[in-house]
Structure 1
Amino acid sequence: MGNKNLRPSDRVAVLGSIDPDAYLASTVTTGWVSAKQFMTFMALVQAGTLGTNATLDAKIEQASDSSGTGAKDVSGAAITQLTQAGTDDSDKQAVINLRHEDLDIANGFDHIRLSITIGTAASDAGGVLLGLDPAYGPASDNDASSVAEIV
């Protein structure tokens, strides 16, 4: 059993968010965040109502600094495309798990972001990038400035 004195917010930080909204066919991202403080990461992708024939792709990208220098995809950190046609993936969620060692740290890639691309038609979507298992201190010390309260 885990330490009963630890709150979940001591172990998990909200690093970035793509606020739930109706987005035109485009790509939306979180900001670039440092991956130095956490051992693992998780992105929660939320598809709301997808427009006619819409598609939704999501992935985690890595870069060498907070401005996105040298941005590239993290291998194996992308979801299978959600679609409105056929199976209708509206109102579904997808999770991307990532370990620190999945990043190209040897070449200085120590920043990450969540990227969601909506294709063909405007659709409702959102996402959250979480940092888990902090190297030092409570995870909430690294929360995005958009986190208004921890209860």
Structure 2
Amino acid sequence: MSNPNLKPSLRMPVIAALKSDTHAADSTYPTGAVDMGAHINIMAVLAVGAITGSGTVEFEQATTDVFSDAKAIEGRTAVDLVAEKPVQLNLKANELDVNNGFRYVRAKLTTVGGSVKTGILVLSADAKDQPFAPLTGTIVD
């Protein structure tokens, strides 16, 4: 669980990201891989701007960080994005198919029929070892 003696930036560090941009139509944009062996809970946060088509966001799982065997997480569906609305997408480590070796996840933005202006931050809500180091390049004050 979170240690209240740590700064919030150390209790919920950014662990993966997708650059904020206008993402082109009919494409998929993933964040980097997150090893859920180090986290109990994570959360993807999006600040959605203009949408000219439609877009969704979801978590997908894989057995390695290259995602050659990526698959959906059972019981979950992609979340439809709404222009100018934020999104928070939660995931617990026990939702993964760990019996078949799936331990890596990433958030995936999919655009259809038009562009979507957004970025994604994936935060660790409960790292197993705290403090957990944030993603390289994260500015923490």
TM-score by length of 2: 0.89
Paired residue for 1:86? none
Report percent identity of matched pairs.
Answer: 27
Tell me the distance in 1 between the aligned counterparts of 2:67 and 2:137: 20
Paired residue for 1:127? 120
Question: Does the residue aligned with 1:41 lie in a helix, a strand or coil?
Answer: strand
Instruction: Output the amino acid matched with 1:60.
Output: F
Alpha-carbon contact 1:59-1:115 (below 8 Å) kept: yes
Tell me the distance in 2 between the aligned counterparts of 1:97 and 1:32: 16
Alpha-carbon contact 2:18-2:31 (below 8 Å) kept: yes
Count matched residues: 139
TM-superposition CA deviations, 1:71-90 (whole Å, max 9, x none): 111234444323xxxxxx31
Question: Does the residue aligned with 1:75 lie in a helix, a strand or coil?
Answer: coil
Higher strand share: 1
Paired residue for 2:6? 6
Structure number with larger C-alpha Rg: 1
Pair 105,123 (structure 1): closer, same or farther in 2 beyond 3 Å: same
Tell me the distance in 1 between the aligned counterparts of 2:20 and 2:75: 25
Tell me the distance in 2 between the aligned counterparts of 1:76 and 1:96: 14
Q: How does 1:1-151 map to 2 (within 5 A)?
A: 4-25=4-25, 26-51=27-52, 54-82=53-81, 89-139=82-132, 141=133, 143-147=134-138, 149-151=139-141
Task: Give 1:46 deviation, angstroms.
Answer: 2.7
Unaligned stretches of 5+ residues in structure 2: none
Alpha-carbon contact 1:77-1:96 (below 8 Å) kept: no
Alpha-carbon contact 2:34-2:106 (below 8 Å) kept: yes
Tell me the distance in 1 between the aligned counterparts of 2:66 and 2:37: 16
Tell me the distance in 2 between the aligned counterparts of 1:118 and 1:11: 32
Instruction: Output the amino acid matched with 2:128.
Output: A
TM-score by length of 1: 0.83
Unaligned stretches of 5+ residues in structure 1: 83-88
